Amino acid sequence: FTSEGYAAGYYGYIWADVLAADAYEAFVETGNSYDPAVALKLYKYIYSIGGSVDPAQAYRNYRGRDPKIEALLRARGFPVK
């Protein structure tokens, strides 16, 4: 990277992809990409809270754990054990 600022910004994009892929896997794990119960949890713990909860804690509340990079690796076609 040519500058630290660019690298930090790019990292932010990759981290957003990790969060999105891992959040989507909650749906995949149910076998239903439109599972209403998972959608309600996503709304309750992520979308409806705004900035009232620390984002990392909000994600833990939604998934019950920290995000895992394996979801992004799978989404991009890498083999994951």
Contact between residue 60 and residue 66 where contact means Cβ atoms under 8 Å apart:
yes
Q: Is the dihedral of CA 75, 19, 61, 81 positive or negative?
A: positive
Strand spans (E) along the chain? none
For the chain, give every domain's residue range: 4-75
pTM for this prediction = 0.86
* Tens of pLDDT, residues 45-68: 999 999 999 999 999 999 999 999
- 30/6 Cα distance (integer angstroms): 37
* Tens of pLDDT, residues 63-77: 999 999 999 999 999
> Would you give the end-to-end CA distance of the chain in angstroms?
30
- 22/56 Cα distance (integer angstroms): 13
